Structure 1
């Protein structure tokens, strides 16, 4: 788990909506490409979150807690469901708590972990480590020392992993 805003700040990068603002046809094309990607990969439940952009600091701290307690994969699946399938305002602590409860997580423990100085420090360290390794945005994938950026490189990652 890393903090995308921290990566952007450290690398002088900007979110696509900001970087592409004012470029005629760019955002429309991005929407078309997103639809193509979803169709190609059988993604049928995606809904644009009306609260986007959502500050992910709290849920990323929660991810560190979930990782520490051994259920990061389930946590990621559930947070993504609450963000992009059943769009919720996942930067509102009350909404986050209810989403965690709905997902069957120990919401009280996760909410406490999100305020734990050790967890905060780990998220910062993960983010700094990702930048040092070459990350400038998300999604970024590493296969050994080779970096791949963006959803459009997934086929390359799959190809390399398949040998």
Structure 2
């Protein structure tokens, strides 16, 4: 089977991105693949579709935080809610992209970014912690780059706009062969596609796009 290239769209504000990051190596075990991590701004993806996200609906916010904490426990992935959530992830995303020339980051940088938020229950934007994270990434930083540099700002904007153009509406999302797989719970489906499951060659993948809505159009 030919090697497949997978793009992992992530934003460190998403606990599901952290859980997927930790789960992915096991899901892809035994396959021939290349993998790139692309930071995007989840808030912009949600805004494009007027989606408030789970944190924008109070009962759903409570459930989501409860659910991801349990998922971490069930999966064996340490996950503690940060001191404040949601928060503005832009400084963290830009710091990660200060380690990039082309908008992709490596697994070490992605892991450092996600652990910073999802382990320990601390404030993700605490200035002392941000400085510690930058020190952890110092060997990865491009010469003269940090979170305040123009290049990482441009990369984050370009990554997000390119993702929007491809139909990426949330994170974590995985792209392979032009197909998009959304969420932690899509990982078994991604694996099935990579294993050559014949279902994906049938009509069902594309047929859903032609299904008419039974709701009146919003004027």
How does the TM-score come out when normalised to structure 2?
0.61
CA RMSD, Structure 1 to Structure 2 (Å): 2.8
> 2:95·2:146 contact (CA, 8 Å) conserved in 1?
yes
Partner residue of 2:184? 151
Partner residue of 1:58? 91
Shift of 1:37: 3.1
1:50 aligns to what SS in structure 2? Answer: coil
- Name whichever structure is richer in strand by fraction: 2
Please give the alpha-carbon distance, in whole angstroms, between the structure 1 residues aligned to 2:171 and 2:101. Answer: 22
Question: 1:141 and 1:107, CA in 2 relative to 1: closer, same or farther beyond 3 A?
Answer: closer
Which structure 2 segments of 5+ residues have no match?
Answer: 1-38, 197-219
Deviations 1:87-144 (A, max 9, x none): 332234443112332x353599799432222221121111011011001111111121
Partner residue of 1:113? 146
Partner residue of 2:44? 6
Please give the alpha-carbon distance, in whole angstroms, between the structure 2 residues aligned to 1:79 and 1:37. Answer: 20
Aligned residues: 157
Please give the alpha-carbon distance, in whole angstroms, between the structure 1 residues aligned to 2:70 and 2:84. Answer: 23
Please give the alpha-carbon distance, in whole angstroms, between the structure 2 residues aligned to 1:139 and 1:104. Answer: 22
> 2:45·2:160 contact (CA, 8 Å) conserved in 1?
yes
- Answer yes or no: is 1:130 the counterpart of 2:154: no
> 2:95·2:134 contact (CA, 8 Å) conserved in 1?
no
> 1:97·1:107 contact (CA, 8 Å) conserved in 2?
no
2:106 corresponds to which of 72, 81, 94: 72
- Name whichever structure is richer in helix by fraction: 1
Question: 1:132 and 1:119, CA in 2 relative to 1: closer, same or farther beyond 3 A?
Answer: same
4+ aligned runs moved over 3 Å, structure 1: 26-33, 106-112
